[in-house]
Amino acid sequence: MQGNQGLLVLNDIHKSFGDLVVLNGVAAAIKRGELITFVGPSGCGKTTLLRIIGGFTKADRGSVILDGQAIDNKPPNERDTGIVFQNYALFPHLTVAQNIGYGLTIRRWRRDAIQEKVNDLLRLVKLEGLGNRSIEKLSGGQQQRVALARALSLEPKVLLLDEPLSNLDANLRLVMRGEIRKLQERLKITTVFVTHDQYEAMSISDRIIVLNNGVIQQIGSPTEIYEHPANEFIASFVGYVNFLEGKIDTVEKETGISSISTQFGKVKITPQRRDLKREDEVLLVIRPETVSLSSHKGAPKANTFHGYVESFMYAGSLVKYVVDIAGGKMIVDQHNPRDAGLFREKDKVAVTLPRNLHILKRESH
């Protein structure tokens, strides 16, 4: 576990459905006021974990600790958490204001206090003047805001968001992603966000928990997850990536600079890790945007290899090339093609790899 520091602590959470193990010893500490995202492929256990935190699913083993108190035996309405479900779960027969104030009504707040709180929340989520409108007359983005306001009405210690943007179109997702982040920062509310979209996770999170097969693969900031993935799964799950197998030839003691034999030829790198030694089998993790592409001509340069363009996709501000180098494939992202120049299929090109590549020791199989 990451230690006992944190507003929300997940302590060795296990959950199975029959013979299917969904969570297998998940442990993490979520800091007060941070937005943390559970991300991973379908079936990795992220939504089950969120439901266990909210009290909608019971863990087989382990404990959920909120603000120093175990909450495993508390029902959802006594956990001091608020949740926005994927389908929002709004009441269609109630107005916007009645939906937002529903939890306050159940708690027997005074009518004038409910009205004041609901008006504050309507302003907070930018729905002023829509309190009397029926839910069915709202757009998807407006419904999402109502669900968010309802979840915030009782001022929970933790806000749980279960893929709340998945029902929105691409442009609206982008807008609402920014709105949720601004709201979270303004309220300083600890938030757990679940998504299958790694780009969404990267853009909204303080930290990311990457899950696969019910196990945490890595916890870190978006930068750490992207630039220093802990293993092949994370490197390939978060963004496009090229893997290049190699074997360490030499390691300079003073600098750590390594020479690596690959199918393309010798690659010299300055790795961030200093535990590499001669004969180690490694994987070079090469992000497409870090690779340089130029014409075939010119003086030889370090880490430069020659090949030809197998295919390309032009998207205005970006061209995504697939380059064949000695039978191997390299994905290269070239930004601003108007200035860089556009290569065509079968064009001979030179590909230059950076020296500060992330490197993984080859996983044993």
Same fold, 8-237 and 242-361: no
Q: For residue 197, how many other CB atoms are within 10 A of its CB?
A: 16
Are 138 and 96 in contact by the 8 Å Cβ rule? The answer is yes
Whether 365 shows a pLDDT value over 60: the answer reads no
Task: Return the pLDDT at 57.
Answer: 96
For residues 58-94, b (16+ Cβ closer than 10 Å) or e, as one string?
ebeebebbbeeeebeeeeeeebebbbbbeebebeeee
User: CB under 8 Å to 235, separation ≥6 — which residues?
Assistant: 229, 241, 243, 285, 358, 360
Question: For residue 362, what pLDDT band results from cuts at 50, 70 and 90?
Answer: confident
Angstrom CA distances, 316 to 172, 176, 293, 336, stand at 22, 25, 17, 8
Determine the distance from the C-alpha atom of residue 70 to the mean position of all C-alpha atoms in its chain, rounded to a whole number: 27
For 173-191, the pLDDT digits (tens) are: 888 888 899 899 999 999 9
* Cα distance from N-terminal residue to C-terminal residue, the chain: 26
Q: Chain-wide mean pLDDT for the chain?
A: 91
Task: Return the pLDDT at 350.
Answer: 93
Angstrom CA distances, 213 to 20, 44, 196, 205, 217, stand at 10, 5, 14, 22, 9
Determine the distance from the C-alpha atom of residue 279 to the mean position of all C-alpha atoms in its chain, rounded to a whole number: 35
For 130-158, the pLDDT digits (tens) are: 999 999 889 888 998 899 999 999 899 99
Q: What angle do CA 267, 268, 269 make, to 5 degrees?
A: 115
Token pair 């600079």 is found at: 257
Whether 338 shows a pLDDT value over 80: the answer reads no
Whether 225 shows a pLDDT value over 60: the answer reads yes
Task: Return the pLDDT at 87.
Answer: 83
Token pair 């299958």 is found at: 196
Q: Burial-class residue 229 by CB neighbours within 10 Å (0-12, 13-18, 19+).
A: buried
Question: For residue 170, what pLDDT band results from cuts at 50, 70 and 90?
Answer: confident
Nearest of 32, 22, 153 to residue 83 by alpha carbon: 153
Domain boundaries, the chain: 8-237, 242-361
Tokens, residue 74:
């508390």
Tokens, residue 77:
């309405």
CATH class of 8-237: alpha beta
Tokens, residue 320:
């995504």
Q: Right CATH number for 242-361 from 2.30.42.10, 3.40.50.460, 3.60.150.10, 2.40.50.100? A: 2.40.50.100
Task: Taking residues 283-294, report their average pLDDT.
Answer: 94
